[in-house]
Every structure is written in structure tokens, then in C-alpha cells.
Amino acid sequence: MSSEYTPLLTKVRVAQPRPRYPHAVLRRFCTVALASVLIWFFIAVAASMTFLDDDPHDDPSDGWSWPGCGKRKVDYDQLQRILLDTPTSKHAEEWSRYYTSGPHIAGKNYSQALWTKNKWEEFGIKADIVSYDVYLNYPVDHRLALLEKKKHDDDTSAWKVSYEASLTEDVIEDDPTSSLPDRIPTFHGYSASGNVTGSVVYVNYGTYQDFADLVKANVTLKDKVAIARYGGIFRGLKVKRAQELGMVGVVLYTDPGDDGDVTEEKGEKVYPDGPARQPSSVQRGSTQFLSFAPGDPTTPGYPSKPDAPRQPVDTAIPSIPSIPISYKDALPILKALNGHGPKADDFNQYWTRNMGLGYKGVHYNIGPTPDHVVVNLYNKQDYVTTPLWNVIGVINGTIPDEVIIVGNHRDAWIAGGAGDPNSGSAVMNEMIRSFGEALRQGWKPLRTIVFGSWDGEEYGLIGSTEWVEEYLPWLNHANVAYINIDAGVRGTELRTAAAPLLDHIIHAATAAVPSPNQTIPGQTVHDLWDKRIKTMGSGSDFTAFQDFAGVPSIDIGFNSGPGAAVYHYHSNYDSFHWMEKYGDPGFVYHRTMAQVLGLITAQLADLPIISFRAADYARALDRYVKQVEDKLDAALAPPSASTIEASSLIDDDTYFELRGSTRNTSTATLSSASASSASAETFKTTLRRLHHAVDKLAVPAAQLDKRADELAEELKRDIPWWKWPAKLRLGWQVRKVNTKYKFMERAFLFEEGLDGRPWFKHVVFAPGLWTGYAGAVFPGLVESIDDEDWVNAERWVDIIESRLKNAARRL
């Protein structure tokens, strides 16, 4: 990340006025210049004219006019003002109330798509509905019961139901969303239908390493039903591993131990009376194998048009049934495990994280439960191929082949969704309304801006993925950046992830927006931000842009931090009432996020030089190579007691990255020592080549940034009209720099894709194979190290090195 950012507005205000040229002369010049230039140069010319406005009142870097002919009506400074002044909390609240007033699960609410399109058009932005025919499931029926075989006096025995799970969330009087007659049942997207019965095994978070520990301890998994806590890794991967190990079903529950201090146990009241988790709340969600490929599982890599050929789905979604339950429903099952098998704290330290031992009488035994204590899990899903609807809005810019895209999904697992995703939808609407206001005042954007309201994100990023797959050639040619907002507001703590090219834009935009928290007067969003920018993983709609199309992306939102009210993720209680009472009273953070999002978009779309920092990318790559080296060193070193002790202190990201690794920890250090560690040592030497390649990239990257800064300076200078060749040259140079920036991220795509998951084409960023949400850097290398496959690791060094060299050459 760059520390050299300047708050946008401050920078803009210091611009000095310059002398004016007579308009008649200007017009004549326009005619002559435009008529005499070759078509091939048209864009460069348009751009140069555009940037080099002769009007005295503007700094040319932030003002322009339609090809040089007259004053730019709304310059960059004014645009930013409009984007800051237009959004209101009242509007955001209104949009939130609309979206959360009825169910809008993927493919079921055309009227919300239509409403969104109409609203955008009302705001002055042309919009269309784009549909795809996708494979989805809807819930039909389910059951989860704890059964015990009881001996009768006459020595016969019979199964008795000792607990029948409710599988529903309580109706809460204060929260009208919880009582809607058409509210959506609790279920998993892409879960398999089935009716299975078996003993239960507690599998902790269900990470790859949790299962490895169970295997090592000889806990029988085959034909058993797993009960796993939610958290850390993508839920579909928990089901995937259970399935691979022969388990017949999976029950996922939310453990309040993971809610930190905001629990009933620690004296907090539960929702709606307090900030703690409502015990009947259930996290719905997709069980697609997200880290292998998102999108419609029947059309990997190509759009789900009605006539598209369809592939089998076996490797993309589970074949064993799974069901999400509340903590309330989980308690009897966890208690039935008491006294059976080892206890979690007999296992390693990774099993006692956030455990709250003895909470409500649960001892966290692993099981399995004895043969006479089983659960019956019945899940019936209706699978259909059905249309879903993206809404796509467009503001055409002057430069047709430099496009900025901003997106948010609209679909939710529940009727509410006030946080996920419709806080983002409300924020998007406010931002779009603001851009509409700018257009109304006469603003003409430099780059084209596209807005996407995606459908079907929740099932597997479907709407965005199918759209990217359909428009890939155009995106490849024209898309400069993608900005994602999913759950835009569910608390007050800014959370960001971004491709390194874009890091500095987050700094700039947040520094120009006042925080709703004015405890210290004048503090900005930037002041209260932890300044952490995560690497791009998955779990939202940026995935297809970043990992498949090689478009640098941002993901941003206000999350709930430690100590804040528990957010009921994918539950009926992610409702308007919760948002109004706990998440964002007064919708002030909604307004703030609309301002931040607007400024990010404006900075990318409306400055003559694309706001990228290539040197930041080179620096980040160097860091990532170092991370891989550290990982290799850890693999080569004997496990030390200190790393084990420290595990209780490590943060969530590190914990789940470690637990999502496939490294065989039972082979204390590298297996059959001599042979393989020799190749590991060789590999270590090979890896150094990447440092060299990054160093080679860093030089032209820094030069490009320098060139961009020089051009920005030159654009501020006044070039008299009769020096039109100089203007043309400058325009051409700006064009050249912008083109280099635009294609830089693309250089890291590898057509064959990652090992075993060819859809993922980016060699630097991908979701961790067994984490799903969290980003892995250099996944090809990391996975090879985990597998101790040094031949493949060498192959990945070659692949990455060639991308780095190619990127350096292109710069």
C-alpha cells in the first residue's frame, strides 16, 4: 500500500486559475484539428483535447471540455462536491426499506430487478435487465431429529425421538421481517437431497486440518454425520471434505463462542432486547465448492444462455445432504456427544478456540455417539434451471475503451438482507443518484461507468460470473477496474480488500470523507480505518473480475468490529429492524459509504490519467514471494513448540489459513527426509529467481508511475492552441500510459488456470483451495509446497516468472 496519498479535495482546491482564450479561436482550432487528424489517433486526440481544456477556471487535470471546445460544465472538483453532497441517510433508509420488505432470493423476484432498473433510469442512468438461465435449488422439506434406541421391559427395543429440531427461526414481535408469511426456510444452496441416519461426530470448524486430526486420532468418520461449527472457511468446503472422507451428512451450526464478548454467557441480552445473537438464528448459505469454480455449476467458463450446453455438476457441488441449524437446535446434539469419544481439549490447541468449555452443559466431545444414539437428517431440494436477472446501468464516457465497473448483488437468502447485500444496494442507489445529479448539472464523464446489480450471488456469484463470462472479450479489451460492494454496512469498522494497483485510491477516497463518528471533530473515514487492505480471495462478486478476467478490483464495506452488536449473517434477523436498531441507526454509515464509493469511482473514471500505482504492485509481489519463502521455511523446519503455543493468539486469518492448508502435519518435517528435502532445497534456490523477476518489474513499474506523475504535471501546464502538435503528443502519451496501466493486471493471467481448478486464471490471487474466502497469494506455489510436489513447484516458478517478465516487457 502506498503511504503517499493526498486527500483529493485539498489537492484540487490549490489549483490556480489561468488566462482564457477567445472562444472563436478555440472553435476554429477544433474544427481544423479534429478534421485533420487520422482516425487511428482519434481517441488520443479526443483524450488530449479533453484533458487540455483551455478554460481558465480549471486546472486542466481536473477539468475538460468536449474535444477542446468550450468549458467543461462540471469539472472533477465539482463532481466530487456533488458526490459528497447528494447522498442522504433518508434516501438510503428508503431504499433499504424497499429491498428488505419481501423475499428476493435468486431468480424469484423479477419485480425487484425492474424496480432497480426504473429507479436508476429515474436518476438519469440508462439501464437494462440481462438474464441468464441458471441451475438452482429451492427448499422443499427437511428434518433433523436425534433418535435413541430404548430397551423395553420385554427386551425388545425401539427408536425414540429424543429431540426434534425446529429448523425455523423464532418469530419476534418487534421485528416484522421475522413473521412474513412468505419468509424463506432454512436450507443450503446447492445441497444434495437425501435421507441419512448415523452417529454424530463433532468436527470443529470442519477445516482440512480438523478432518486430518480426526483421521489421525482414528475417529471413525465413514457413514457418520458431521456436526461442524460455522466460521473461517467457506461452508461448502466443510461439506466437501466430509464427503471425501465418507461421511453421509453434515449439520452446520453457529456457536456463540465465536461471538467474542457479545454473548448471553457474558451478560449481554439477545436480539431483539440486546446485541447478542438470537439463539434461534440460522445461517443459510451456499455449499457450492466455491474455490474450485464459482458461477452456474453447469456452465463453467461460459455464459448460461438458454441454449448453452450443460455439464455434469458432481465435482462442483456436494453429493451428501447438509443442513444449517441454530445454536438452540445444536445444543441437544452437542449434549448427546457428552462422554463419547475424546474431548476437543484432548486434541491439539486448534480445537479449543472460542470454545467456552461447558457452555450450557456442552463438553465438546468428539464422538462418535454410540450406535444407539443417532441423528436422522432429511433434506429435500427442488433443482431447476431458471432465469435470474442482472440490472446493468451505463454512463457512456468520452473514451469508449476505458471502462470502470461498480457492482453489488441484490439477491439475499432471506426476505431481509438489510446488511447482506442490501446495505450495499442502498449505497449503490445513492451513489448512482449522485452521478445522475452530476449528469443533470452537465457533467460529461471521461471514462464509461457501468453499474451492475447482480442476481444469484448467494448461490455462487452467479449473476456476475455469467456476465463476465459473456462479455469477457470486451472486458479484456476495455475494463480498467471493478469496484465491489456487498454488505456495505453492518457496523462501523471499514474493511477493505484490493488489488495492489488500487490500494492508494482507498486511502485517497476515505481521507476525503468525514466519518459519522465526530468524537474528534473533523476526523475522516481514513482516520478511523485500520489501514489494512486484504488480498483478493473470494466470497463476493469481484471474483470473476479479479481471478478470471484479470481486472484489478476493490471490495469495501463497514463491518461490525469486536464488541459491536452481533450481525445475524444470512438469518431472518439481518432485517431492517436490526439495521435500524443496532447496525446503523439513522443510516449514517450508509450515507458515508455512498460518498466513499462515489469518490473511488470518480477518481478512476474522471481523472485523465488512470489512478493506478504500478510500483505498489511490484512491492506487493515482492512481499508475496517472501511469504512463499516463509511458508517453505516453515515446511522445512521441525515444528517448534513456540508456533504451537502462539496459535491461541493468532488472528482469524492466520488461524484459518493454517487450518485450511493441506500440508500433512503427521509427517513432522518433510517426509523421507533426504530425497525430498534435497529437492526442497533446490526449489528454495529456484524461488529466488522470482525475486529477481520482481526486481526487474519494479524498475519499469516505478518509471511508469513517474511518467504518469510527469504527465499529470504537464497537463496542468498551459499549452497555447497554436502548439497543437504538442497537445496531440501529450494526448498520445497519456493514452500510452493509460493503456499500460489498463493491461498490467492482465499480464498475470495463465490460460490453463490453476492446478485442478482451471477456471481460476490469475497466478497471483485466488481463494485458498480449502479456505474459500481468504485470499491465497501465488496459489500454484503454495499448493505445491503443501503437497511437497517440488517438480510442480518448479513448474509454477517458471509460469510465474514468465508472467513477471512479460509484465515488465509490456510496461
Alpha-carbon distance of 318 to 239, in angstroms, equals 7
Pair 611, 601: CB distance under 8 Å: no
- In the list 10, 195, 319, 441, the residue contacting ligand NAG (rule: CB under 6 A) is 195
Residue 627 beta carbon to ligand NAG: minimum distance, rounded to whole angstroms: 24
Q: What is the DSSP letter of 369?
A: P
What's the CA dihedral at 738, 740, 746, 750 to 10 degrees?
A: 170
| Contacted entry of ligand NAG, Zn ion, none for residue 520, CB cut-off 5 to 8 Å set by kind | ligand NAG
610 and 402 in contact (C-beta within 8 Å)?
Answer: yes
Residues 6+ apart with CB under 8 A from 152: 158
Q: Closer to ligand NAG by CB, 216 or 363: give it.
A: 216
Which residue's C-alpha cell is 426499506? 97
- Comparison of 385 and 664: residue with beta carbon closer to ligand NAG: 664
**3-class DSSP state for residue 227?**
strand
Compute the least distance from the CB of residue 70 to ligand NAG, in Å: 21
Q: Whole-number minimum distance, CB 565 to ligand NAG, in Å?
A: 11
Indicate which of ligand NAG, Zn ion, none lies near residue 118 (CB less than 5 to 8 Å, by partner kind): none
Give backbone dihedrals phi and psi of 319, rounded to 5 degrees, phi first. -110, -5
Q: Specify the residue, 258 or 420, whose C-beta has the smaller distance to Zn ion.
A: 420
- C-alpha cell belonging to residue 480: 480498467
Grid coordinates given for 707: 511518467
CB contact at 8 A, 206 and 247: no
Residue from 6, 88, 476, 517 binding ligand NAG (CB under 6 A): 517
Q: Is 197 in the site for ligand NAG (CB under 6 A)?
A: yes
Tell me whether residue 416 or residue 550 sits nearer to ligand NAG (CB atom): 416
Check binding of 348 to ligand NAG (CB under 6 A). Answer: no
How many residues form the binding site for ligand NAG (CB under 6 A)? 28
Alpha helices in 2-59 (DSSP H): 8-13, 23-36, 42-51
User: Looking at 80-88, 588-596, 659-667, 673-681, which segment touches ligand NAG (CB under 6 A)?
Assistant: 659-667
Closest distance between Zn ion and the C-beta of residue 457, in Å? 6
396 contacts ligand NAG (rule: CB under 6 A): yes
Nearer to ligand NAG among residue 217 and residue 675 (C-beta): 217
Of residues 110 through 129, those in contact with ligand NAG by CB under 6 A are 111-112, 126
d(Cα 416, Cα 495) in Å, to the nearest integer?
22
Q: How many helices (H) and strands (E) does the chain have?
A: 24, 18
| 104 touches, from ligand NAG, Zn ion, none (C-beta below 5 to 8 Å by class) | ligand NAG
Q: For the segment 352-391, give every residue that binds ligand NAG (CB under 6 A).
A: 378
Is 685 a binding residue for ligand NAG by CB under 6 A? The answer is no
> From the list 10, 640, 671, 703, which residue makes contact with ligand NAG (rule: CB under 6 A)?
671
**Residue of 285, 601, 290 whose CA lies nearest to 465:** 290
Which residues from 203-222 bind ligand NAG, rule CB under 6 A?
Answer: 212, 217-218
**Which residues, including other chains, have CB under 8 Å from residue 38's CB and lie 6 or more apart?**
none
User: Which residue blocks in 37-109 are alpha helix, DSSP H?
Assistant: 42-51, 76-85, 89-99
Tell me the sheet residues that pair with 189. Answer: 286
C-alpha cell at 112: 425487484
Nearer to Zn ion, 467 or 741 (CB): 467
Of 661, 671, 652, which Cα lies nearest the Cα of 784?
661
Give the residue ranges of DSSP H helices in 131-264.
208-216, 235-244
User: Could you give the CA distance from residue 166 to residue 328 in angstroms, rounded to a whole number?
Assistant: 9
31 binds, among Zn ion, ligand NAG, none (CB under 5 to 8 A by kind): none
Q: How far is the CB of 515 from ligand NAG (least distance, A)?
A: 7
Looking at 351-421, list the stretches that DSSP marks H as alpha helix, in order from N- to C-terminal side.
none
Q: How far is the CB of 403 from ligand NAG (least distance, A)?
A: 11
Query: Closest-CB residue for ligand NAG?
Result: 102
Determine, following the binding rule CB under 6 A, whether residue 669 of this chain makes contact with ligand NAG: no
Residues recognised as catalytic: 457, 642, 762
404 bridge partner residues: 449, 481
Write out the residues near Zn ion by the rule CB under 5 A: 420-421, 486
Q: 530 in helix, strand or coil? A: coil
Whether residue 294 is preceded by a cis peptide bond, meaning omega within 30 degrees of 0, is no
| Backbone angles phi and psi of 453, in degrees to 5 | -105, 100
Per rule CB under 6 A, is residue 528 in the interface with ligand NAG?
Answer: yes
Examine residue 159 and tell whether it contacts ligand NAG (CB under 6 A). no
Q: Kind and range of the H or E element at 633?
A: helix 614-636
Residue closer to ligand NAG (CB basis): 102 or 260:
102
Partner whose footprint covers residue 486, from Zn ion, ligand NAG, none (CB < 5 to 8 Å by kind): Zn ion
| CB of 124 vs ligand NAG, minimal distance in Å | 10
Q: Per-residue contact track with ligand NAG, 438 to 477, x per CB under 6 A?
A: ----------------------------------------
Residues that bind ligand NAG (CB under 6 A): 98-99, 101-104, 109, 111-112, 126, 195, 197, 212, 217-218, 378, 394, 396, 492, 517, 519-520, 523, 528, 664, 666-667, 671
